[in-house]
Amino acid sequence: MTAQQPNGEGKEGALGNPWIMKMEQFTPFSDEDKRLLDGLTSRERRHYGAREDIIREGDHSPDCHLIISGLACRYKVLEDGTRQIMAFLVAGDLCDAEVFILKEMDHHIGTLAPSLIATIPGETMRNLLLKRPGIALALWWGTLQDESILRERIIDQGRRNAYSRIAFLICEMLLRLRAVGILDDQTFEWPITQTDLADATGLTPVHVNRMLQRLREEGLITTDGKLWTVLDLAGLRKAANFNPNYLHLDRARDDPDTEAGERLKGLF
């Protein structure tokens, strides 16, 4: 596993900007565009502790927020106090690419681990969308990937059994973390509780525990606190019936000899 972990303290400089690394899964950037994006993520940063809200439902944010390191999630809290996690957000993910357009947020975004968040003014994002077509297309791709991930969560609730839901999500996290250079093997840091996993999959914590135990007993994964290791990727993919096409990591698949492709080698 590389030195940069999901809750690292801004170590991305030695490994590359995770936002750029993510979007270059769609298209390569010029050096000028890389310098521009790198500068935008270096200006205003804030450290958040675990279990802190970055933006809450009902708030208006004139700015966009980018995960530099750490782990966050999109979630809703219902009237009875129950929570649904719609998506996990990792380094390189924009929390709210278009929120500056809206009057208010319709869900919460909060951290699950200590995180470093960059703030990008909404006006700056607007200028990128209007004046930098290459970057605008990459941002659009990122939004489409977010929507694809959300569709998989809908399929989880409607058609996948509990065992497949858990296996599928583990496969997804492995690919997404590899895509932004956080790890180069099959061990990753995922500092979540079984309650978090239950809230993300629509299961109970007890049911999650049983499914994780089954995955361990079958030799597919092992866990050590917040460290997760995929021992048998082919077996895990079979258990999940996992097809990574929804992540649209096309450059890694089509150009395996590029830097983007190298990070995901052996995972397609």
pLDDT at 13: 38
CATH numeric code, 12-263: 2.60.120.10
Report yes or no: 141 and 179 within 8 Å, Cβ to Cβ.
no
pLDDT score of 5: 45
On whether the CB atoms of residues 26 and 137 are closer than 8 A, the answer is yes
Is the pLDDT assigned to residue 15 strictly greater than 70? no
What Cα–Cα distance (Å) separates residue 8 from each residue in 36, 71, 149? Answer: 23, 10, 24
Higher pLDDT, 136 or 97: 136
pLDDT, tens digit, 9 for 90 and up, residues 192-223: 999 999 999 999 999 999 999 999 999 999 99
Question: b vs e for 191-214, b when ≥16 Cβ sit within 10 Å of the residue's Cβ?
Answer: bbebebbbbbbbbeeebbeebbee
pTM of the model: 0.91
Instruction: Using a pLDDT cut of 70, give the percent of the chain over it.
Output: 94
Cβ-proximal residues to 217 (8 Å cutoff; 6+ apart), any chain = none
CB burial string 38-55: b at 16+ within 10 A, e below: eebbeeeeeebeeeeebb
Residues 6+ apart with CB under 8 A from 227: 187, 188, 189, 190
pLDDT at 1: 42
Instruction: Choose between 237 and 181: higher pLDDT.
Output: 237
Rounded to the nearest angstrom, the gap between the alpha carbon of residue 2 and the centroid of all alpha carbons in its chain is 17
Question: What is the Cα gyration radius of the chain?
Answer: 18
Assigned token pair, 262: 């190298």
The ranges assigned to domains in the chain are 12-263
**pLDDT tens per residue across span 239-265:** 999 999 999 998 888 888 888 888 888
Angle at 87 between CA 28 and CA 9, to 5 degrees: 65
Average pLDDT (155-172) is: 97
